Amino acid sequence: MLTVAPGLFKDHLLELRDMFKAHHVESTDNHVEFGGIYEEQYLDMEANGLLLCVSAKDYLGRLQGYMSCILYVDPHNRIESCGYIDAFFIGQAYRGPKALKTIKEMFALMEQLCHNNGVTTMRVGTDQRRRVDPLLLRLGYWESDRIYTKKI
């Protein structure tokens, strides 16, 4: 069983480095190289109140999952304050039926943290395999956009 709680990116940086790499391997095609986690950008966003994090820890206090959310104002509707769930991940050892409960707890906590920070709209992207779409639909999200990418 994992314990879900608010956390700070800066406090989990060492554990996150390995976890981000594992997450990248799972969520991208083989032709996309891991470019690092851009620690400075995340630390700057956190220092400026633009990044929220939720951690999932095991009974020994080790990080086994995380969720990060970037706060921003929608450039097309300037009165809408948004939270973009940048990433969420549960380590292999804690996958399966119990992971669903943990992920639901992580989303609920992140939504509450965002609401407390004035956010009115939540957004979350998925990988192109769309494996988490059924979960997001059950959590009350709907498909609103699709993003296409081209490397130049």
Q: For the segment 38-54, what is each residue's pLDDT rounded down to a tens digit?
A: 778 889 999 999 999 99
CA 129 to chain centre: 17
pLDDT value at residue 34: 45
Residues in the chain where the model's pLDDT stays below 50: 34
pTM for this prediction: 0.84
Rounded Cα distance, 19 and 105, in Å: 19
Nearest CA among 79, 81, 73 for reference residue 114: 81
pLDDT value at residue 37: 58
Rounded Cα distance, 30 and 26, in Å: 9
Residue 152, classed as helix, strand or coil, is coil
Domains of the chain: 3-138 (3.40.630.30)
Give start and end residues of each alpha helix (H) in the chain. 13-27, 39-47, 97-116, 133-138
